């Protein structure tokens, strides 16, 4: 994807496979929806790239079904522009980079993500 506006449009207007991921700048978004209906609870995990520690850090799980395109793009853009050092877990002052809640907020090492991408390369959308 080229930008958050394109990402928002694609997520809101097309159905994506479970596990389908998208990378835009420092964000990675992964489809965790279990419904095949585009209009029912399309859920995505949202990760921030942590270059210093060689991983992606999940910071949010979001249902996009009820977003308008401009609002979703603005939401993504806010986190794309935010430094990972300034990010906290939702509703807390706990820094995203230093939390110990890995059972709730996943951490995916770059090597694992590269293996995931390679294993599911045929499912990756090219735009």
Per-residue pLDDT 10s for the chain (127 aa) are 689 999 999 998 887 888 889 999 999 999 998 876 667 788 999 999 999 999 999 999 999 988 999 999 999 999 999 999 999 888 888 888 887 776 667 899 999 999 988 887 766 554 4
Please list the helix, strand and coil fractions of the chain in percent, rounded to the nearest 5, in that order: 35, 25, 40
Q: Which domain holds residue 101?
A: 4-123
- Taking the CA of residue 64 as centre, how many other CA atoms within 13 Å lie in the half-sphere pointing to its CB? 33
Token pair of 1, please? 């994807």
Q: Cα–Cα distance between 3 and 7 in angstroms, integer?
A: 6
Q: Give the chain's domain count.
A: 1
């Amino acid at each position: 994807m080229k930008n958050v506006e394109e990402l928002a449009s694609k997520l809101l207007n097309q159905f994506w496979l479970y596990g389908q991921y998208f990378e835009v700048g420092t964000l990675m978004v992964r489809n965790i929806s279990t419904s095949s209906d585009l209009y029912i609870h399309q859920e995505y995990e949202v990760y921030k790239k942590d270059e210093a520690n060689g991983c992606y850090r999940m910071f949010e799980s979001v249902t996009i079904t009820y977003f308008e395109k401009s609002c979703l793009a603005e939401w993504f853009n806010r986190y794309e522009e935010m430094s990972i050092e300034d990010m906290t877990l939702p509703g807390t002052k706990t820094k995203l980079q230093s939390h110990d809640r890995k059972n709730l907020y996943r951490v995916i090492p770059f090597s694992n993500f590269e293996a995931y991408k390679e294993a599911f390369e045929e499912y990756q959308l090219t735009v």
